[in-house]
Chain A
Amino acid sequence: MRRLLRRGPLENLAALLIGLGVVMLMQPYSLWLYGWSFAVILTGTIMFVLVSHFPD
C-alpha cells in the first residue's frame, strides 16, 4: 500500500489529468470532450493538492 501511495508517480498522474482537462476544455473538435473537461481538471487538481502532501 505504502509503495502505491508515493508522491512522484501520483503527482505525475494528477498533472497529466490537469493537462488533459485543459486541452479538452479548449479544443475545437468535440463538444463531448468539452463537456467532460471540467470533471477531469477538477479531479486532477484535487488529486494534485492531496498527493503533494504524500511522502516522496
Chain B
Amino acid sequence: MRIGPPAARVGRQVPLAGAGPARPALAGRLRARGLSDPLLAWLFIGPTILLLLAINIFPLLWTIWLSFTNYRANRPNETVEWVGLRNYQRILTSEDIWHTLQVTAHFVCWSIFFQVVIGLGLALLINRQFKGSGFWTTLILLPMMLSPAVVGTFWTYLFQPQAGIFNYIVNFFIGAGDFTMIGDVRLAPWAIVLVDTWMWAPYVMLICLAGLRSIPDYIYEAAEVDRAGPVRTFFSITLPMVLPFLMLAVLFRAIENFKMFDLVVELTSGGPGSTTEVASINLKREAFEKWRTGFSSAFAIILFVTVFGAANIYVKLLNRVKAR
C-alpha cells in the first residue's frame, strides 16, 4: 500500500467534518466580479503604499526640502528663504558638530565591541545546556526587556556621586574615595558604553544562540572524529557558522546606537560639558531648543545618508558571508 503525504501538507484544502462548502477566499470572490489580477494586487498593496508614502516618504522629502531653507518651526508665519547648501556648509565646518560625531563614533564602536564579545561569550555558555540554563537565560534577557528610560533612571541612581552603590563599590576596591562615573569627563563616555552594553549584550546573545542552535551536531561529531581541538572547532566551525547571525546583530545594534537618544539623555543629558553629547542629542537641541529647523533638517539628512550608506555596504558584506 502506498502511503502518500497528508493532504494539508501538500497544500490541498481539507474540508472539516460537518462543515458546509468552504466559502471562496476574498481574492477569488473579487476575481469573480471581473477584477483582473494586477488590479487585485494594487487593491491589496495600495493602502500599505499610501501609509508608507504618508509616514515615511513624505516626511523624508519634506526634510530634504527644509534642509535647503532657513525655516524655523517656532515662527511658521515668517517667509521661508531658500539658502541652498548653506546649512550643509555650516554643519560641515562646525567643530561642535564634528565633536558630537566623534562622541557618537566612540559610543557606537565600543558598545558594539563589548556587546559582541559578551553576547557571544554568554551564548556559548548558555548553549551548553546545564542545569537551570532556562532560568539563567531568562535572567540574562531581563535588561533588554526594560524601557531605556527605566534603565537610564535606574543607572543614574547607581552612579549617584554621594549615594550611588556603583561608586561605593569601586571606591571600596580602589580606595580612591572620590571616584565618580558620570561626573568625570574621562569616565562619562564609558558610563554610557557600560549601560548600553549591560542592556543590549543579551540581545546579541539571543541572536548568537539562535545561530549556535542551528549548527547540526554531525559537524561537531565529524570534527571530533578528525581529532580537532576546542580552539580549532571554535574557529573552523562555530565562528564561521555564527558569523552571519553575529553580523546581523551588529547591523541592528549599530543603526540603533547611531541614533541613540533616550538612554544618554536619562543618564548624562550630554554632560559633563559636552563629553557625552551624541549626534542625536545635538540634533534635538538644534531642532527643538534653538528652533533652527532648516539647519537641523540638514544635519538629519547627513546622519540618514551616513546610516543608509553604511547599512548598504554592511548588507553586501553579510550576503557575501552567507554565500560563502
Contact = CB atoms under 8 A, between A and B. Distances in A.
A21 B102 CA distance: 14
Contacts, number: 53
B23 interface: no
* Count class of interface residues, chain B: 10 to 19
B78 to A, nearest CB: 28
Contact of B302 (A18, A38, A48): A38
B95 A22 contact: no
A26 interface: yes
Contacts of A15: 312-313, 316
B309 A35 contact: no
What is the interface of chain B mostly: helix, strand, loop, or mixed?
helix
Contacts of B313: 14-15, 18-19, 48
* Count class of interface residues, chain A: 20 to 34
B93 A31 contact: yes
Interface of A: 11, 14-15, 18-19, 21-22, 25-28, 31, 34-38, 41-42, 44-45, 48-49
Interface of B: 88, 92-93, 95, 98, 101-102, 104-105, 302, 305-306, 308-310, 312-313, 316
Given A31-B98, A42-B305, A48-B312, 19 more contacts: A11-B316, A15-B316, A18-B312, A22-B309, A25-B306, A26-B101, A26-B105, A27-B102, A31-B93, A34-B98, A35-B92, A36-B92, A38-B92, A41-B309, A42-B309, A45-B305, A45-B308, A45-B312, A48-B313
